[in-house]
Amino acid sequence: MGMIFWLILSVALIYLVVVFNGLVGLKNAVSKAWANIDVLLKQRHDELPKLVDTCRQYMAHEQATLERVIQARTQVSSASASRDVPALGNAEAALHSGLGKLFALAESYPNLKANEQFLHLQSRITSLESAIADRREFYNESVNLNNVGIEQFPASLLARLFSFKAFDLLKFSADELADVDIGRRFTT
């Protein structure tokens, strides 16, 4: 009888350790996913001033667009540094919109479009944008797995006991989810 008690207690303890370690793994996966986004945001943060400076040489009449890109860059940096996920989503939308407008305006400047540095920076930032979108998807998946893991019974008991917390998803803004008006793109 005593041996059965110790066997059941041992199995229960092993189970609790496995569940706890699983929760730790989920929490660290979210941190890793955030770090991956942060690295890409910093790379883009470093590239954007070069792009704006290159464009500024040619686009003297488009200062408002250039300033919007700079302001959005600052907002992304600030939200990323403070790990404010909702603010980062909004700042990313503003930056994405500003870059789209900047690249569209560049079409009106043949000398800028032919500038090798501009083309390199445009390509680099476009590839960083794709990488950020991929990492954002991975981050949201990690957050989802963490949040589900800490809500499922019996892991929820351990999660509450050891103060595991839910994380916010990095959401898309309404502008990013709206259909693209292709006709309007050709007239602007």
Please provide the size of the chain in residues: 188
pLDDT in tens, 165-174: 999 988 766 5
Question: Over 80: is that where the pLDDT of 153 sits?
Answer: yes
pLDDT in tens, 65-120: 788 888 888 888 888 888 888 888 888 888 888 888 888 877 777 777 777 888 88
DSSP assignment of 148-169 equals HHHHSTTHHHHHHHTT------
| Selected residue with higher pLDDT from 99 and 162 | 162
Region of 167 on the Ramachandran plot (φ > 0 left; ψ -120 to 50 alpha; else beta): beta
User: Domain 16-187, what fold?
Assistant: de novo design (two linked rop proteins) (1.20.1440)
Residue 27: which of 118, 163, 185 has the closest Cα? 163
**Tokens representing residue 152 in the block:** 């499922």
Question: pTM of the full predicted structure?
Answer: 0.70
> CB of 25 within 8 A of CB of 137?
no
Which residue has tokens 């890409």? 40
Q: How far is CA 145 from CA 9, 57, 165, in A?
A: 29, 47, 12
Question: What value does the mean pLDDT take over residues 114-141?
Answer: 86
How far is the C-alpha of 65 from the C-alpha of 74, rounded, in Å? 14
* CB burial of residue 185 (10 Å; 0-12, 13-18, 19+): exposed
Break the chain into its structural domains and give their ranges. Answer: 16-187
| Selected residue with higher pLDDT from 187 and 88 | 88
How far is the C-alpha of 48 from the C-alpha of 74, rounded, in Å? 11
How far is the C-alpha of 49 from the C-alpha of 69, rounded, in Å? 9
